Amino acid sequence: MILTRPGKATSEEMLEKNAIKELLEFERFARDNDLWEEMKKCYSKESVVDISWYTGSGEGFIDASAALGMRGPHKIYNTQIWLNGNKAVALMMATIQLRYEIDGIEVELQSDSKLVFQVEKQNGLWMIAAFTSIYEQDRMIPVYPNNQLIIPKDQLGDFRSSYACMSYMNYKNGRPINNDLPGIDRPDLVEKLYQDLDKWLSR
């Protein structure tokens, strides 16, 4: 069902897809602007989140995001939605921008990903039931042009190419690194995710 060309949609289906898109874009807007209580209103009570730095409940994800104390703005490019009754799967193309200091140099991490949402309609409102990500590529750029960051190749060799810079940043900050996240360099994991999403949506 997912990854197929949409057929002719009814007016009601178009309205529902627009409501889902508005929900997901607002959730990211709330994240980027520290609107934590509003962000919580986007997730169902039973929601789960599984991304590079967090695995757990939706509410726990929001609390952990607030505790980071740092900005992580998102540039959103396109969102595709597959709808089946009171369920939908959405793939949102986005670039996440994070700023850190590494070895005394301020850098910006830019991570290109497909943000993957499962949403359900509950009491007349669309709510996020699950959130994960498919990693594509990333880069780490010094913020100021007169700075240079040199990373030895052997420090990057064990990291996945789809999120190597993110892994390095987590390594430098003492955070655990998960090498089994869905990414375009692991098509087997991406295919399994799509299959699981399709089964969920079809039920």
Q: What is the pLDDT of residues 116-150, one digit of tens each?
A: 999 999 999 999 999 999 999 999 999 998 888 88
Let me know if residue 100 belongs to a domain: no
Name 21's Cβ contacts closer than 8 Å, sequence gap at least 6.
79, 81, 90
pLDDT per residue over 2-27, tens digit each? Answer: 999 988 889 999 999 999 999 999 99
Does residue 16 lie in a domain region?
yes
Phi, psi dihedral angles at 193 (to 5 degrees): -60, -45
The CATH number of the domain holding residue 122 is 3.10.450.50
Number of domain units in the chain: 1
In a domain, 88, yes or no: yes
Which structural domain range is residue 194 located in?
Answer: 11-94+113-137+178-202
Question: Terminus-to-terminus CA distance in the chain, angstroms?
Answer: 11
| 176 pLDDT more than 90 | no
- 46 inside domain: yes
Model confidence pLDDT, tens digit, residues 145-164: 888 888 887 878 789 999 99
- Kindly state whether residue 157 falls inside one of the protein's structural domains: no
**Helix (H, G, I), strand (E, B), or coil: what is residue 32?**
helix
Residue 77 inside a domain? The answer is yes
The answer to the question of residue 61 being in a domain is: yes
